[in-house]
Amino acid sequence: MAEIGLFPLGLVLLPTERVPLHIFEPRYRELIEESLEQDEPFGVVFADDDGLREIGTRATVTEVSERFEDGRLNIVVEGGDRFRLLELTEGRTFATGRVEPVDDQHDPAAPDDIERALVLFGHLVELTSSAVEPPGAETPELSFAIAGCFDFSPDLKQELLDESSERVRLMRLCELLAIAAETVERQQKIALRAQTNGNVHPPG
């Protein structure tokens, strides 16, 4: 069991995902500065009204984009290995806990699901006019690489983070991508209809 500093947040950081953070609380400024000085990751754990989740992600600071005179920081972090939070510990100004690694079981995704996920990825990127490059089909933990490109809710991302089967995770991700694409298409149709006051203009 290892003890690491924890950063409870209202978001879920997936492995390989990069997220910008604004660090303003003194205790978490201390955590980030210590992480930078020691070149060690810290733990990001989703926290809401139900408390801390059991599965979190080790985070590494990849960029300090801005330092303010009052000590605040704008940084970019990247998700690494997952961990299971066994217990909270005390003694520091910021949250700490004992953790153990979380590994995937050997249950690779089916080739058909990989192809479907990448097709859905491309379709959703096209619908949203996003400038996002698709990950390669051979990308390890492809489900995380794809999911990290989209703004899914924390609960859905935590569901993926908790799952230890890449096969199950990618199948679930395909469902989420299909639902997201349907939602975007419906919103675009509503917006187009609103522009025409709900009327169809015949040609001529």
Alpha-carbon distance of 155 to 161, in angstroms, equals 10
Q: Quick check: helix, strand or coil at residue 204?
A: coil
Extract the tokens encoding 43: 């733990």
Residue type, 100: E
Q: Quick check: helix, strand or coil at residue 32?
A: helix
Whether the Cβ atoms of residue 139 and residue 118 lie closer than 8 Å to each other? no
pLDDT in tens, the chain (204 residues): 689 999 999 999 999 999 999 999 999 999 999 999 999 999 999 999 999 999 999 999 999 999 999 999 999 999 999 999 999 999 999 999 999 999 999 999 999 999 999 999 999 999 988 888 899 999 999 999 999 999 999 999 999 999 999 999 999 999 999 999 999 998 888 877 777 665 544 444
> CB-based contacts of 151: which residues, under 8 Å, 6+ apart?
none
Alpha-carbon distance of 144 to 163, in angstroms, equals 11
Domains for the chain: give ranges and CATH numbers: 2-101 (2.30.130.40), 111-195 (no CATH)
